[in-house]
A and B are shown apart, each in its own frame.
Chain A
């Protein structure tokens, strides 16, 4: 059984109270969370140090402006702050962060992590023009019932990993009928238990309702299959790929927001990647014409090669795509098939090596010819 803290307030208020308690008692120096930026109601990740500022915090807002894992990596890239910081992020953001830590792009030192069972998020574009604010009350109903809204990011619709790994505290949210009356915080680690000492509330021994969550997972599985089948129809060898990626404008936005794409100097954007006149001439001769800029498909295949092993399926890539290529579904589908082969769930276990930097002597004999 896991220890849990029950607070008789709405979940969002309960968590904000907890964060306030931690800040006021100097247990943490900062709170990394989603926050309303006053006037225009824009929402962004911020690190809050003043307890009064917490009134604008919206820790469970269904939005992922940038993958929080990527942001935490930038926050801890050159070392950790001396005083601890607590971060409230979504399950896939933790997984992204853990994958980055495995690549030495951050650390968990002096960092506490709170997460919740995640109902899914909306595309960023919806928050920009204010549409999201209008339907936010409807969203909470969807979460209560554990349903999938058609407006969600497509990656979220088919997400099965909505229970956080590696979080110090897990908030019960998804499929919880009374989350507007009661807040339950599960304390998964000793670190978390230590931190929360002195907080007002009722301590329980409790587990997440797995039956309920399994049912939600089954629904998501069905939805995922639908998305994958739809994609499968478009896949048709080289011609299919050209059709899917043909509209790519080469902005490389998908790699900019991807939590796993961490290189500061990307090979695909380097001087060496550019074609020389002789390259163009070869292609003129060979193909009788060429798409400009060239090598778009190479970029996407190359990214698949780099990312698929660790893709956490957060859907940020598709979110920023100006031409609506279903990148997140492609990456999720191929990522899952690759990860399954190595029996690897990215971001699940921080001690586990990335499959490509380790091996077993007897394996995969079927590919040797």
Chain B
């Protein structure tokens, strides 16, 4: 990346099939603009996202990791996202305890009808990561 170019973060987004992925799709079909920083991965449920995956994404140099699922109470599998929330809280606490940037992790609820919201979440998160800067794990050799 050339230095004069503005830093564009790379954000890995785990989107749940039933809500957030459809929400992202809606953002696309409605031609709502959102930053190109988001790299989506479709998962069947946000609770399918093992915290290990988030850790691996972080250590391999992603500047941010977004986990998005259905709003609480709306999970396609009834209660998957409640488990996601607990795991996410735990992971954030671990990051905090190890003095890592836990601001690089984000959990958001985006429903299938919220194309606007998906665009807003991605923009906000990208802006925030731009403020924090690059993930230092990206260039570390001794991981």
Q: Which of the residues B83, B94, B99, B100 comes within 8 Å of A305, measured between beta carbons?
A: B94
- In the complex the two chains form, is A301's CB within 8 Å of B94's CB? yes
The interface-forming segment of A35-43, A55-63, A107-115, A289-297 is A289-297
Contacts of B138 in A (CB 8 A): 286-287
Q: Which of the residues A235, A242, A297, A337 comes within 8 Å of B99, measured between beta carbons?
A: A235
Chain A: CB-nearest residue to B58 = A301
Kindly list 9 other residue pairs between chains A and B, CB separation below 8 angstroms, not including A301-B59, A305-B52, A305-B91. Answer: A235-B98, A238-B140, A241-B99, A286-B61, A294-B143, A367-B92, A369-B106, A369-B121, A369-B125
Q: Which of the residues A305, A357, A361 comes within 8 Å of B72, measured between beta carbons?
A: A361
Contacts of A356 in B (CB 8 A): 83, 86-87, 90
Tell me how far the C-beta of B109 lies from the nearest C-beta in chain A, rounded to whole angstroms.
Answer: 6
Contacts of A238 in B (CB 8 A): 100, 136-137, 140
Q: Which of the residues A242, A298, A330 comes within 8 Å of B142, measured between beta carbons?
A: A242
Whether a CB of chain A sits under 8 angstroms from the CB of B93 is yes
Report how far A236 CA is from B56 CA in the complex, Å: 20
Whether a CB of chain A sits under 8 angstroms from the CB of B34 is no
Chain B: CB-nearest residue to A358 = B86
Tell me how far the C-beta of A239 lies from the nearest C-beta in chain B, rounded to whole angstroms.
Answer: 8
CB within 8 Å of A: which B108-143 residues: 108-109, 121, 124-125, 136-143
Contacts of A235 in B (CB 8 A): 98-99
- In the complex the two chains form, is A302's CB within 8 Å of B55's CB? yes
Report how far A267 CA is from B91 CA in the complex, Å: 19
Report how far A247 CA is from B94 CA in the complex, Å: 21
Contacts of B109 in A (CB 8 A): 368
Contacts of B107 in A (CB 8 A): 367-369
Whether a CB of chain A sits under 8 angstroms from the CB of B51 is yes
State the 5 A-B residue pairs at the shortest beta-carbon distance, nearest first: A359-B82, A334-B97, A235-B99, A289-B141, A291-B142
In the complex, per-residue mask of A328-363: 1 if CB is within 8 Å of any chain B CB, else 0: 001001100110011000000000000111011101
Report how far A341 CA is from B91 CA in the complex, Å: 12
Whether a CB of chain B sits under 8 angstroms from the CB of A237 is yes
Q: Which of the residues B106, B108, B143 comes within 8 Å of A298, measured between beta carbons?
A: B143
With an 8 Å Cβ cutoff, the count of chain B residues facing the other chain is 42
- In the complex the two chains form, is B99's CB within 8 Å of A298's CB? no
Chain B: CB-nearest residue to A282 = B60
Whether a CB of chain B sits under 8 angstroms from the CB of A16 is no
Tell me how far the C-beta of B143 lies from the nearest C-beta in chain A, rounded to whole angstroms.
Answer: 5
Chain A: CB-nearest residue to B125 = A369
- In the complex the two chains form, is A242's CB within 8 Å of B140's CB? yes
Q: Which of the residues B86, B106, B143 comes within 8 Å of A295, measured between beta carbons?
A: B143
- In the complex the two chains form, is B85's CB within 8 Å of A287's CB? no
Tell me how far the C-beta of A203 lies from the nearest C-beta in chain B, rounded to whole angstroms.
Answer: 46
Whether a CB of chain A sits under 8 angstroms from the CB of B88 is yes
In the complex, per-residue mask of B40-74: 1 if CB is within 8 Å of any chain A CB, else 0: 00000000000110011001010000000000110
Whether a CB of chain B sits under 8 angstroms from the CB of A271 is no
Contacts of A242 in B (CB 8 A): 140, 142-143
Chain B: CB-nearest residue to A297 = B143
- In the complex the two chains form, is B140's CB within 8 Å of A334's CB? no
Contacts of A355 in B (CB 8 A): 86
- In the complex the two chains form, is A291's CB within 8 Å of B143's CB? yes
Chain B: CB-nearest residue to A356 = B86
